[in-house]
Amino acid sequence: MHGEVVLKGLLAFVAIAEHGSINRAAQAMNISQPSLTRTLQQFEAIIGGPVFDRKAKGVALNELGKRLLAHAQTIRAETVNVTRTIEAFRHEKRRQLHIGAVTAHPLVQFAEAVVEFMREEPDLFIRITHGSPEELMELLRQGTIEMVFGPVITGPDAKGLVQDTIYHDVINIYCGPDCAIAHVSQASLDDLSAAHWILPPVGTLARSKLSELFTETGRPDPVLAIEVENVPMRRSLVMRSQYLSVFHDHHVHQEVESGRLKKVEFDWKRHVGPIGSLRITPHTATSLRLLQTFKARYGAAGFDCPVGAQKLVAAHPANGNASAGYYVRH
């Protein structure tokens, strides 16, 4: 009974922490506010102290609550996994793996990795959910999905996460094969300044990186001919014109391989950050095999982690506290 109370209390604690109030958490859990309050009180009595500071409009985690949250979210995720496994066994369903994918992967290599993996795991059912990093991380912490393929997280938000780097996202300047600058062995800033550009809107990462290049060198932003956010449309426009643009390498990998786009040779610090897999719970044998398949497919296509970029991701927090609860593997 004691263990059941602790588990119930941990799940109640996570819900209250994420909703910021007992009332909102009770509504989300479809239980009464007094019932949730009693569960929280029982939990606090067992652990020997409160986990929240009570506020006029809700609650806020105190120091003990902050230390417990990542562990409690892990337990919730494992509870969901256990429930899913039991249900699959009872109904003789195939094993399931629910993953989330951010638009930060080379589409062809992503698909090849999944298909190759499924050939080795014919009895497995995979569900793929697409979304923003924020949306998918919320689903991961809730236990709805088991694994996110997206940007690696550092800092306090990485606490409690199991992360593995697959490759490093890189931004480069590209043009069509008939563009004059495509045949320049090493482009200069003068070449870039003289060119006309097709760019994504202000605020996008690629646009910001290019603006930084010109600002840092004391030059005005390049001449903008066309602004379009849609990546496939921008690719098509650049392939058929004399305009330049900036793309994440994974967005144009196939076009470069086929010669329909050319990378402009220019010395530019353009690494964006590591892309990898993120989990709340330790790897299972299945998730680890999937990760290894991704690494092999991406590496074979040239999407790897450059030695010089390894230092961009710390294995532990900046203060050197290895017990802070997260790590990143290369």
Cα 44–chain centre separation:
34
Yes or no: say if 148 and 102 are a contact pair by the CB < 8 Å rule. Answer: yes
Band the pLDDT of 115: cuts 50, 70, 90.
very high
Taking residues 60-76, report their average pLDDT. Answer: 83
On whether the CB atoms of residues 238 and 244 are closer than 8 A, the answer is yes
Report the SS3 class of residue 297: helix
- Please tell me the predicted confidence (pLDDT) of residue 82: 66
The domains of the chain are located at 2-68, 70-168+273-305, 169-271
How many helices (H) and strands (E) are present in the chain, helices listed first?
11, 12
Please report where in the chains the tokens 């903008």 appear, as a residue.
224
Give the pLDDT score at 84. 64
- What is the pLDDT, as a whole number, of residue 85? 62
- Position with higher pLDDT, 77 vs 53: 53
Report whether pLDDT(40) > 90: no
Give the separation between CA 14 and CA 65, rounded to whole angstroms.
9
* The token pair that represents 33 in the structure block: 């506010």
Class of domain 2-68: mainly alpha
pLDDT at 92: 53
Confidence of residue 305 (pLDDT cuts 50, 70, 90): low
List pLDDT tens digits, range 124-178: 889 999 998 999 998 998 888 999 999 999 888 888 899 999 999 989 999 999 9
Same fold, 2-68 and 70-168+273-305: no
- pLDDT given for residue 88 in this prediction: 59
83-111: pLDDT as tens digits: 666 665 555 566 788 999 998 888 889 99
Exposed/middle/buried for residue 37 (C-beta within 10 Å: 0-12, 13-18, 19+): middle
Question: Per-residue pLDDT averaged across 221-249, rounded?
Answer: 94
Average pLDDT, the chain: 83
- The CATH T-level fold of domain 70-168+273-305 is D-Maltodextrin-Binding Protein; domain 2 (3.40.190)
CA distance linking residue 312 with residue 306, whole number of Å? 10
* Beta strands per DSSP E along 34-161: 52-55, 58-61, 95-101, 124-130, 147-151
Non-local (6+) Cβ contacts of 320 within 8 A are none
DSSP assignment string, 53-73 = EEETTEEEE-HHHHHHHHHHH
Whether pLDDT at 325 is above 80 = no
Q: How many CA atoms lie within 13 A of 134 on its CB side?
A: 0
Determine the average pLDDT of the residues in 182-200: 93
Task: Name residues whose C-beta falls within 8 Å of residue 201's C-beta, 6 or more positions apart in sequence.
Answer: 207, 227, 229
Q: How far apart are CA 282 and CA 17, in angstroms?
A: 23
Please give the pLDDT value at position 309: 40
Q: Is the pLDDT of residue 59 over 50?
A: yes
Q: CA–CA separation, 47 vs 211, rounded Å?
A: 52
Residue 323 pLDDT > 70, yes or no? no
Q: Is the pLDDT of residue 117 over 60?
A: yes
What's the confidence (pLDDT) of residue 143? 84
Q: How many CA atoms lie within 13 A of 149 on its CB side?
A: 28
Q: Which backbone phi and psi does 77 adopt, to 5 degrees?
A: -60, -40
Tokens of 258: 């086929």
Q: Considering just the CA atoms, what is the radius of gyration of the chain in Å? A: 24
* Coil, helix or strand at residue 90: helix
What is the rounded average pLDDT of the residues 283-297? 93
- Assess whether pLDDT exceeds 70 at residue 245: yes
Distances (CA, A) of 202 to 233, 237, 264, 311: 17, 19, 22, 29
Q: What is the DSSP string of 162-176?
A: EEEEEEEEEEEEEE-
212 or 271: which carries more pLDDT confidence? 212
Q: How many residues does the chain have?
A: 330
Q: What is the pLDDT of residue 118?
A: 92
Assess contact for 8 and 39: CB atoms under 8 A.
Answer: yes
pLDDT for the residue 314: 33
Task: Kindly report the CATH number that applies to the domain delimited by 169-271.
Answer: 3.40.190.10
Q: How confident is the model at residue 91, as a pLDDT?
A: 55
Mean local confidence (pLDDT), 250-268: 93
Q: Reduced to 3 states, what is the DSSP secondary structure of residue 325?
A: coil
pLDDT for residue 328 is more than 50? no
Q: Per-residue pLDDT for 317 more than 50? A: no
The pLDDT of residue 164: 93
Cβ contacts of 56-61, under 8 Å, gap ≥ 24: 57/21, 58/20, 58/21, 58/22, 58/24, 59/16, 59/17, 59/20, 59/21, 59/22, 60/20, 61/17
* Phi then psi dihedrals of residue 325, to 5 deg: 105, 15
**pLDDT confidence bin for 6, thresholds 50/70/90:** confident
